[in-house]
Chain A
Amino acid sequence: MGKSPQEGTDIKQKMSKLKRHPRLAEHLLKIIFRREEQSEKLGDFEEGFQYELMTKGPFKAFLWYWSQVLKVIPLSIKNFFYWSFAMLKNYLKIAFRHIRRHKAYSILNIIGLALGMACCILILFWVQDELSTDKFHEKIDSLYVVRNIQHYGSETEEGMGSVPAIGPALKAEYPEIINTARFNNGQGEFLFTSGETKFKELIQMADPEIFQIFTFPLIQGRIEDLFSGPNVLVLSESVADKYFGRDNPVGKTLTINEEYDFKVVGVMKDIPHNSTIRFSVWIPLEFANTVWRPGYTETWYNLAFRTYAEVDQNFNLESFNKKIANRIRESRPETNSEPFLYPFSQVYLQVWGRIGQIRIFTIIAFLILIIACINFMNLTTARSSQRSREVGLRKVVGARRTQVTKQFFGESVLFTFISLITALILVRLLMPFFRTLTGKPLYFLSLVNGQIILGILAVTVLTGIIAGIYPAVFLSSFRPAAVLKGKGISGKKGDLFRKILVVVQFSLSVMLIIGTLVIFNQVKYIKNKNLGFDKEHLLYIRVEGNLKKSYASMKHELLQDPGIKNISLASHSPTGIYNNGQDWDWEGRDPNINPLVTYFGVDPDFPETFQMEITQGESFRKGTENSGSNVLINERFAEIMGLDNIIGARLSQGELALQVIGVVKDFHFTPVYREIGPLLLYHNPQMREYNYMFIRLNPGDIPGALASIKEAAKKFNPEFPFEYRFLDQDYDRLYRGLEREMGIVRTFTFLAIVISCLGLFGLASFTAEQRTKEIGIRKVLGASVTKIIFMLSKEYAKWVLIANVIAWPVAYFLMHNWLSDFPYRIPLSWTIFLGTALLSLFIAQITVTFQALKAAHSDPVDSLRYE
């Protein structure tokens, strides 16, 4: 189709008059075709367009051009995939070859990353479980807790308790409240009898409405029957299984404490572990009116209840709380309580303060992941110089920089995916161990859901990209000519970068170590803090059944046993005193002070049995000559009263008048991480509300003493099975949660350090390898092994020290914050920081020395022949 030059000029003239081809379509072509092809292809399109223009006119030509361009697209896509697939195959082949050739390094790299990811996944499982607490209730978003603000003069205190009358009142008076339900605080252990079956279980008293507003499904029985009177009960599935096996317990009658008959009306599914409300036997709250006193559940005072409310869609929290602020005052003008609603979904996180721990754990998870990523980056860049020739060659045969970048990103993502698979296997294997560590029934398969899978995949790809950034950018910047000439790359910049990474990594590890040490010491301090009494060799049994009447004789008989030192009776166990009240008055009281005082009913032997110190005045007198109005107070209460002469001071609450006869040294009747509050020890000779008998044993023959206690219990209280507990076990139980978290933190810190060391190990071996020749020459010239080890390790020591200096202020700030939540805490001493520095130096040194030794001991002849 050759055209003469004459024709060409004609076309040129026509061209100037006519429209040109579509610009946008041309741009599309430029994207589709590589630059080398553009001249040919665009020329063809142009020529075809001009031909169409002449023969068919501008509009048809325009359409023609576009249709031709669009028809090219499928072809180009096909080609793109063909070529990228070919390259991908090549990249994969090279990557796997690389892994195979450097087995040790690759395994180190993959294991390090896998370990980091496994830790991260495990911790995130824990976090997910914590966040899921209470979320299993179907109505969770419309559930609120009726809480209470107490005004003590200028001070206020927010509590979870509420007065019993507020719940029904809210339901009756406000249309936006659909339903309310009350729990009685605390659960009591009672004896159940059904024919031959006898067992002890904790009982929860609550309104039957709890089965309507919460998701506690019944598997036997009908919900209507729960409302049929005060003498019905519901058992949990496991309790029913334990005592009735396959028999359906519904319809059976159980006798509680040999006194009250209850009909089993339902069996409920066991409450899941992630619930803040837990109980296994339910009886109606109404029963309290029968057993304690009539009208117990209808008063406008007594905060020993928790009230929950279900609201409708029109509910507005803020305006509602304004409306009800005065509700208690309307019915009881002298009150200092104000009710307010609080979202139930926030109770675990905010009121129980779990959000702090969850944050700490999430931070630890990501710190570990960052440390692992840094490892990966370090090892990859360190090895990169070995790939400089490959990159050079790729570039020579036409690879563009973006292709090399993509290759290394791809390789890095490939590595992370191999690590992910390893990590998942690790997680699966570590699950049983993790269950004991956390005390949570976490199972791998039940934790894996769509969200988590997406999250893990996202984290993996992100890790791959973050870890790949430096190798990708650094390696792709190689100049092929220089690299192929064998000049290598000037490692200076890479070196510095690697060192900075090592410093960052070690700073993070140092922070974790300091954090762990501080937490460890604080937990140890709390556990071993002097409680204010001697908790060793102190056991207790419950005063119940016949013992309620005959405890005095039993006490008298037991004291004859030489293995038993003292015996005292008390209303509560010191780890669980729920009895408290306000509105105490004394001479010279600042009207703004109205403390919440805890009451502890004891017999005269109590201070002696607990080996408590009386700091002022005197203890109760022995025998029966005590007056019921004589009380002991603790130092904290004495401090609040602020009287010069506390002994003989008169205390009154309404019609009740008491006299202080002595002050006991403060002792912890709440967990040590709470502040000791004011306490009042009273002894009433006519009192019949002793629930516990405390027995202090002589350290000698403990089994013998236990045997005689058991015998006495059988004799005085034959109906009840004999059970006893040591008080120190109870105290240990208080700190079990804290210790568990301590265990988790410690384990993961240890793993973080291991991961850091893996990275350092790889890096040190790489440096040693790079300096093989230098070491050989030094040895030939007479350097000793020690000198070479020193030379190789001093550099790392320097960087580890710098890491310490960076980490200290951050760790100090963070841990100072953490400690400030504890009223009784350890000082942040410099020894912890110094100790951490030494520890980190030591660990780094061991890691490096191992490699240095290998390098220093190698035969100089071999090393000089190296390469």
Chain B
Amino acid sequence: MKLLSRAEEIILLSVLKLEENAYGISIRELIHEATGVKWSLAQIYDPLNKLTHKGYLIKHKGESTPERGGRHKYLYKITDEGKEALLEIRRVYENIWEKVPKKVLT
């Protein structure tokens, strides 16, 4: 299995959650809400590029809005491989968590 970096994982999850409306700004906002940390756009683009390159995401042209200065959005969508990768990570986590004794955490 290909391991993803934490940033890539978070971005991939965000895209999955945002469904039809995943693009730079919306992803950034979601991450801000979920983690309380503001990422710079550059920090988002880098993993986005890598994920697209690995084939976990695909990019397609969306509508243009006035607040974008009339420019088109580029929406990201998760591919089957992307979903598979996330599930894989989840399985790994669950496997490991299962074996962690409850008392260790308290």
A12 CB-CB contact with B under 8 Å: yes
Instruction: With CB as the reference atom, state the residue of chain A lying closest to B59.
Output: A40
CB contacts (< 8 Å) of A75 on chain B: these are 42, 45-46
CB contacts (< 8 Å) of A15 on chain B: these are 66-67
Complex CA gap A8/B64 in Å reads: 11
Complex CA gap A40/B24 in Å reads: 8
CB contacts (< 8 Å) of B25 on chain A: these are 1, 44, 47-48, 51
Interface size class of B (residues with CB under 8 A): 20 to 34
CB contacts (< 8 Å) of A41 on chain B: these are 24, 41, 45
Chain A 45-88, CB-CB to B under 8 Å as 1, else 0, gives: 11110110000000000000001100110110001000000000
- Asked if A8 contacts B65 (CB within 8 A), the reply is yes
Contact of A47 among B45, B49, B67, B74 (CB under 8 A): B67
Contact of B21 among A2, A12, A47 (CB under 8 A): A2
With A2-B21, A39-B72, A40-B24 as contacts: A45 and B66 at CB distance below 8 Å: no
- Asked if B40 contacts A67 (CB within 8 A), the reply is yes
Chain A 1-25, CB-CB to B under 8 Å as 1, else 0, gives: 1110000110110010000000000
CB contacts (< 8 Å) of B74 on chain A: these are 39-40, 43
- Asked if B21 contacts A1 (CB within 8 A), the reply is yes
B23 CB-CB contact with A under 8 Å: yes
Q: Which of B18-44 contact A (CB under 8 A)?
A: 21, 23-26, 28-29, 40-43
Determine chain A's interface SS by DSSP, over half rule: helix
Q: How far is the CB of A46 from chain B (nearest CB, A)?
A: 4
Interface size class of A (residues with CB under 8 A): 20 to 34
A393 CB-CB contact with B under 8 Å: no
B103 CB-CB contact with A under 8 Å: no
- Asked if A46 contacts B69 (CB within 8 A), the reply is yes
Q: How far is the CB of B45 from chain A (nearest CB, A)?
A: 7
Instruction: With CB as the reference atom, state the residue of chain A lying closest to B18.
Output: A1
B73 CB-CB contact with A under 8 Å: yes
Q: How far is the CB of A800 from chain B (nearest CB, A)?
A: 57
CB contacts (< 8 Å) of B68 on chain A: these are 43-44, 46-47
Q: How far is the CB of B26 from chain A (nearest CB, A)?
A: 4
B71 CB-CB contact with A under 8 Å: yes
Q: How far is the CB of A10 from chain B (nearest CB, A)?
A: 10
- Asked if B46 contacts A40 (CB within 8 A), the reply is no
Complex CA gap A70/B3 in Å reads: 30
- Asked if A11 contacts B66 (CB within 8 A), the reply is yes
CB contacts (< 8 Å) of A71 on chain B: these are 40-43
CB contacts (< 8 Å) of B66 on chain A: these are 8-9, 11-12, 15
Q: How far is the CB of A328 from chain B (nearest CB, A)?
A: 83
Q: How far is the CB of B33 from chain A (nearest CB, A)?
A: 11
Complex CA gap A279/B54 in Å reads: 79
A42 CB-CB contact with B under 8 Å: yes
Complex CA gap A41/B69 in Å reads: 12
Complex CA gap A71/B73 in Å reads: 21
Instruction: With CB as the reference atom, state the residue of chain A lying closest to B29.
Output: A1
- Asked if A46 contacts B21 (CB within 8 A), the reply is no
Instruction: With CB as the reference atom, state the residue of chain B lying closest to A54.
Output: B67
Chain A 274-316, CB-CB to B under 8 Å as 1, else 0, gives: 0000000000000000000000000000000000000000000
Q: How far is the CB of A8 from chain B (nearest CB, A)?
A: 5
Q: How far is the CB of B75 from chain A (nearest CB, A)?
A: 9
Complex CA gap A11/B65 in Å reads: 10
Contact of A68 among B42, B67, B72 (CB under 8 A): B42
- Show 11 residue pairs from A and B whose CB-CB distance is below 8 angstroms, ordered by the A residue: A1-B21, A1-B26, A3-B65, A9-B66, A11-B67, A12-B66, A40-B73, A46-B69, A47-B67, A48-B24, A51-B25
Query: Which 3 pairs from chain A and chain B are nearest by CB?
Result: A43-B71, A44-B24, A40-B74
Chain A residues close to B by CB (< 8 Å): 1-3, 8-9, 11-12, 15, 39-48, 50-51, 67-68, 71-72, 74-75, 79
Other A-B contacts than A15-B66, A51-B25, 9 sampled, CB-CB below 8 A, are A40-B71, A42-B71, A43-B64, A43-B72, A46-B69, A47-B67, A48-B41, A74-B42, A75-B42
